Amino acid sequence: GQQQSMLLQSASSFPPPKGTKLSYGTAGFRADASILQSTVFRIGILAALRSLKTGGAVIGLMITASHNKVSDNGVKIADPSGGMLTQDWEPFADSIANAPDPESLIQLINEFATKENIPLDGAKAATVLLGRDTRPSGESLVNAAKQGICSVVGAVATDMGILTTPQLHWMVRARNKGLKASELDYFEQLSSSFRCLIDLIPKKSGGDNNNNPIGKLIVDCANGVGGQKLQVLKEKLNGLLHLEIRNSGESGGILNEGVGADYVQKEKVPPQGFGSADVGIRCASLDGDADRLVYFSVISSNGKNKINLVDGDKILSLFALFIKDQLSILLSSVKNDEYQPRVGVVQTAYANGASTKYLGQLGLEVIFTPTGVKYLHGKAEEYDIGIYFEANGHGTILFSDRFLNWLEEDRKNEPSSTAKEKQNAVKRLWAVSRLINQAVGDALSGLLLVEAILQHMGWSVDKWNQLYHDLPSRQLKVKVADRSAVVTTYAETSVVKPPGIQEAINATTEKYPQGRCFVRPSGTEDVVRVYAEASTQEAADELAASVAKLVD
Ligand code: 16G
Ligand code: ZN
């Protein structure tokens, strides 16, 4: 009927690229932007179907290739919760992206719709929100997505323009919860909850808290979308945050080239535009779509500029420490048989061993999952307060409804005689739950939470960095013919295939004090990655190099 001819007609305008097989991967489809028109068009169709399948819930479609080079682009889907697309739809995403012609595409869609009971009669409405980062290819790819969405009868595409990835996820989540969900609402919620945390900082006797005691922050925005959005927040915060924005992309730098969180974390060097004049100042880097955040400070040694890196593990540790402190204030008078919120901290094998040890010493439960936000997020959801971070700077804090309801009750029923500090702890946790983006890791909301906690503690970046000392580590990548030949288990810490490799890795690792090493196939590139950790940098380098030879 009408539906079939609409699909057939629009699909013919988006022929798939010849000779490339695309895969949805850890973070959606990514490739050179020039070959993505057809893929994005088809994922537009998928997004509309996903909305129909979920009873008309709002779905997000984001055009970005994050920290990859400016000529790349990509597409990924946000589910109704604001989280990543459910994994059981990934095979469908793969198969429609690779369908060779319109006829086979439509056949796949019909089969899937039947199997999943998706009504294709146009009787139901579907809504997809679209966002894109600052890549020049974004606009035409958004148009391809719109055409895909609109070729499903009853589906409506709403273009939200240029956004950070986490903003789009936040909006999807808010829309589906019936909350205020515009970009302005996002900025309002972040800035008001930040303000609230600052207002709750215990006043030192005699002093006042208004002149931020920890000095300015300089932010490298990767020449991407984070720059313009951070500028808005800065204006809203009107002096509460002493902030200098660099690499905003507005004065000519190239997206992700020698800048951004991925570059800084992997290369352990200052980004472009940072140098010896910045020594001692607190600095941060966002990635190209502002869903990753790392901090650093510039150090000068023998005339060369290096950095002290404060990575995702340390952001996680700061958050965990703060949450734990506030909870213990709150729970100090709670009887044992009352509700005891469970806190879980989620990491991957890339987490520095020293961070895992530190978190354990705080008495927190630490859990490991494979790399990729969908795994960490899913695990964190199992707790009343789930805190997750990848070392690369992607992470957030999730609060269960049960916990937030309990907090709200507690807040209402707290007798006025209760110690003021306990009331304040309630308010702080409440503010954190509003400041942090619970849909997905968000560099902007994470940055504000770091800044609020550092001000609360009165800590410099160096003081924070000394929570524990990172073990020296090394990452390498090995180009291989077929990365899927390497299969891992136990949250990627152990190789099951090819046989014999894990034994060899173990034998090599044993030779190094505090040695730890694992290999895993990348989810985003045609490589196998090697990670090694040991008591000295030389040892970590050597261990990584020896193990790289084993997989070559
Ligand atoms: C993607 C993932 C990130 C992961 C990285 C690993 C999302 C949104 N992003 O960027 O979490 O750390 O891939 O890349 O899931 P790799 O598999 O190439 O090492
Ligand atoms: Zn990113």
Which atom number of ligand 1 is nearest to the Cα of residue 84?
A: 8
Q: What tens digit of pLDDT does each residue of 529-540 get?
A: 999 999 999 999
Instruction: Measure 292 CA to ligand 1 centroid, in angstroms.
Output: 11
pLDDT digits (tens, 9 = 90+) for 45-80: 999 999 999 999 999 999 999 999 999 999 999 999
Question: Which residues partner with 311 through β-bridges?
Answer: none
DSSP conformational letter for 398: E
Give the ligand with the smallest distance to the CA of 64. Answer: 2
Q: Of 98-102, 106-110, 113-117, 338-342, give the lowest mean pLDDT range.
A: 338-342
Burial tier of 165 (Cβ tally within 10 Å: 0-12, 13-18, 19+): buried
| 247 φ, ψ (degrees, to nearest 5) | 50, 50
The phi-psi region of residue 84 (left if phi > 0; otherwise alpha if psi is between -120 and 50; otherwise beta) is beta
66 is catalytic: yes
User: Is the CB of residue 425 less than 8 Å from the CB of residue 415?
Assistant: no
Mean pLDDT, residues 511-521 taken together: 96
Q: Which of 1-10, 58-67, 96-105, 219-228 is predicted with the least confidence, judged by mean pLDDT?
A: 1-10
Q: Residues 382-421: pLDDT tens digits?
A: 999 999 999 999 999 999 999 999 998 877 666 666 688 8
Lowest mean pLDDT, pick from 237-251, 331-345, 446-460: 331-345
Catalytic choice (10, 38, 51, 66): 66
Residue 281 has a pLDDT of 96
Distance 343 CA to ligand 2 centre (A): 26
Average pLDDT over the chain reads 94
The residue contributing the CA closest to ligand 1 atom 10 is: 27
**SS3 at position 546:** helix
Any idea which ligand is nearest the CA of 67? Answer: 2
- What is the maximum span of the chain, computed from C-alpha positions, in angstroms? 77
Q: Please, which pLDDT band fits residue 205 given cuts at 50, 70 and 90?
A: low
Is pLDDT at 118 greater than 60 in this prediction? yes
Q: What is the mean pLDDT of residues 183-189?
A: 98
Q: Which of 24, 26, 29 to mutate to test the pocket of ligand 1 (most atoms within 8 A of CB)?
A: 26
Nearest to 32 by CA among 43, 17, 44, 54: 17
Residue range 3-16: average pLDDT?
Answer: 92
Instruction: Provide the pLDDT confidence category of residue 207 given band limits of 50, 70 and 90.
Output: very low
Q: Supply the pLDDT for residue 87.
A: 92
pLDDT 10s digits, 416-467: 666 888 899 999 999 999 999 999 999 999 999 999 999 999 999 999 999 9
* Ligand number nearest to the C-alpha of 291: 2
Q: How far is the CA of 129 from the centre of ligand 1 (A)?
A: 23
Pocket of ligand 1 (CB under 6 A): 26-27, 371-373, 390, 392, 394, 522-525, 529
Using one digit for the tens of pLDDT, what is the confidence trace for 274-298? Answer: 999 999 999 999 999 999 999 999 9
pLDDT in tens, 158-174: 999 999 999 999 999 99
- Confidence bin at 337 (pLDDT 50/70/90): low
C-alpha 145/C-alpha 133 separation (Å) is: 14
- Residue 500 near residue 485, CB atoms below 8 Å: no
| pLDDT at residue 351, rounded to an integer | 97
Residue 309's pLDDT is what?
Answer: 96
pLDDT score of 334 more than 80: no
Mean pLDDT of 315-328: 97
Q: What is the number of the ligand 1 atom nearest to the C-alpha of 76?
A: 8
Q: Give, using CA atoms, the residue closest to atom 5 of ligand 1.
A: 372
Whether the per-residue pLDDT at 317 is higher than 70: the answer is: yes
Alpha-carbon distance 539 to 537, whole Å? 5
Q: Which pLDDT score is estimated for 417?
A: 61
Model pTM? 0.95
Ligand 1, residue 348: give the atom nearest the CA: 12
Q: Which two tokens stand for residue 31?
A: 């490739």
Strand partners, 268: none
Per-residue pLDDT band at 335 (split at 50, 70, 90): low
| Cα–Cα distance measured from residue 55 to residue 116, given in angstroms and rounded to the nearest whole number | 12
pLDDT of residue 418: 65
Q: Say if CB 439 and CB 394 are below 8 A apart.
A: no
What gap in Å lies between CA 96 and CA 83, rounded to an integer? 22
- DSSP 8-class letter at 28: B
Residue 392 CA: nearest ligand 1 atom is 12
Percent share of the chain, pLDDT over 90? 84
Q: How far is the CA of 96 from the centre of ligand 1 (A)?
A: 22
Query: 341, 385 in Cβ contact below 8 A?
Result: yes
231 or 339, which is more confident: 231
Which residue is associated with the tokens 């090819």?
A: 498
Report pLDDT for 19.
86
Rounded to whole angstroms, the Cα distance separating 289 from 269 reads 20
Q: Is the pLDDT of residue 43 over 90?
A: yes
| Separation of CA 236 and ligand 1 centre (Å) | 32
Read off the pLDDT of residues 495-512 as tens digits, 9 standing for 90 and up.
Answer: 999 999 999 999 999 999
Helix axes 443-457, 420-435, angle to 10 degrees: 160
